[in-house]
Structure formats: structure tokens, C-alpha cells
Amino acid sequence: MAQAEHDRQYSPSQWSPRLGPDDVINDHCATVAKGSEAVRLSYPCELDVAYASGPGETLDLVTPRDGRAFNQIVVYFHGGMWQFLSKKDSLFFAAPLLDAGAAVAAVEYTVAPKGTMDTIVHQCRAAVLYLHQRFPDHHLVFAGHSAGGHLAAMMLLTDWAGLCQPNLPARIRGIVAVSGLFDLEPVQRCYANEALGLTDKQVAEYSPTRLLSEGAWSAPPGLCATVIVAFAQHDPEAFRQHSIDFHAALAALAAPSRLHVEPLLDVTEADHFEVIERMADPAFAVTKAALALIHPQGEGEEGATQ
């Protein structure tokens, strides 16, 4: 494949049928900024909570209205090819989850080129550790879009026992990975690597599909998680293939690893940006799957915290 076409495969803005590349990015940025501000104004928030001691190592935690107790925290990692956006733009989808009784945490991480992939994954793990230590009895759901889908997958596959948290896997309810990138080798060969500077070692350590397919990961004791993988009809072909391959690798491990892998969600009449923007709608297919994940049929809210 010629380099120009390979780069196009990793440029979702070039695949939208509704707007041109610049316009679809501008529209997305405006949509998520407006939606996130509406959530901050409508629900109780703890903003800029330090999850570690470094500059910008913060998260925003939003909880249900009226002091409603919660025992689920959806931990969201934003997209932007690991280079753009921030937690400030990452609460636009949260209202249906908050109304269902879950809390939502939007994680800030140091984007490239200042942040390397080592830094970014380390920071996301630190945010998860902070939330687990603060709310040790709560279930965690890792969610993310695009690059954030990759980070959500990496949180599922992290060796938490190696980080002195052997009980954390039992608190993982699942992941929601939307239009994610799960193999960093082709990312290393596209335009984005000018900022990312991915090394071969990082590709090997932080490629979820490779870790699964090569047998480098096995389910830790206590893990019993549900996996939701979704992508858009008008995602680039390469993005769609990332989700298909990651889903297949997970499904191959499902029985022995105590993972429940939901059917792949191929969202029609949506582009790369709409597929996550529409999660603000409780009737949207991906939102409905996420709501079913945080409140399985027949489960109450025992152990919830106000």
C-alpha cells in the first residue's frame, strides 16, 4: 500500500460522508465541548482531581444527581490519536450513565509529542489505581473512543497484580471500546508517528490484539468482565479491521479467560465521530449496551457510595 493511502486509512476525518475533513473535526470538537459543559453544569462534579503528582495528572469525576448512591464508575479515555483533545471534552456522553446510577471519570493524560506511549499508558494506569484505592468496593468500566479505545483495552490487559493491586481485576466490570486502534504497528508506519515516536518495544508492549494473539496475556484471578467493541460504518477500513481483529482475539480467549464478549457492534449511518457523539442518546445501540453492562439484569446497587 502506498504511503499516502496508508495515511488516509488512519485519517478518519477523510472518510465522513457528511462533512469535509476540517469541518467534521471542527464540528466534533464543538459538539463534545458543548455536551461536556452541559454535563458539568447539570451534575455534581469534582474537577481537576489529582490522581498522581505530575503536572496535569488529573481527572474529572461526575456523580449522579440528588446524592444518589453509586457502585459503578465508568472511566473514560478520550481519543484524538493520542495527540489531541482532553478531559475537558470528555463528558458529553455521560448523562445516560449518570441517570442510570453510575459515576463517570474523565482522565487527563499527557498527549504526544510531549507524552510518549509509555507516559500515556502509565498515567492511565495511575488514574485507575487512584479510583480503585479511593473506591475499593466499586466496579470499574473502562471506556474510550479511537485512541481512547486502545487505552481502555490496555487497562483491561494490565498486570494489576504486578502493580501490587491483585484485587483490582475482580472489580473490573468490563470495557466499551469504540472505533479503537488495537495494533500499534501500522500506526507506527503512518503520519501520526511523527508525534508519537513509537518504538518497536512500545508496539510490542502496547498492542492489545498482539498481546492476545501471541498468548502474552492470560486472565488474572477474579476477572469476570464483559467486552463491548463497536465501530462505525464510515470509519476508515483500517479502523474497522482493528475492531474486527481485536474482537476475534478476545472471543478466542473468552471461555478460558472468563471474558464475556458481546457481539461486534457495527453502527450503520455513522462516521468515526458520530459513533461516539451519539452515546449521549440513551436509545443509541452502543449506549444501550453500556447501560446493560453497568446494570446487569437482576443486579441492584448494593455497596453503593454517595
Integer angstrom CA distances of residue 156 from 34, 149, 164, 211: 30, 11, 16, 12
Q: Is 132 a catalytic residue?
A: no
* Grid cell in block for residue 122: 502509565
Q: Is 78 a catalytic residue?
A: no
Question: Are 80 and 146 contacting, i.e. CB atoms less than 8 angstroms apart?
Answer: yes
Integer angstrom CA distances of residue 48 from 51, 99, 102, 127, 305: 9, 22, 19, 12, 20
Q: Is 13 a catalytic residue?
A: no
Catalytic hit among 235, 242, 257, 271: 235
CA separation for the pair 224, 288 (Å, rounded) = 20
Question: Are 9 and 190 contacting, i.e. CB atoms less than 8 angstroms apart?
Answer: yes
* Grid cell in block for residue 166: 491483585
Residue 35, Cβ neighbours under 10 Å: how many? 20
Burial class (CB in 10 A: 0-12, 13-18, 19+), 245: middle
Residue 253 CB-half CA count within 13 A: 27
Contacts of 125 (CB under 8 A, 6+ apart): 155, 158, 163
Catalytic hit among 146, 179, 243, 257: 146
DSSP SS3 for 267: strand
60: left (phi over 0), alpha (psi -120 to 50) or beta: beta
Q: Return the active site residues.
A: 146, 235, 272
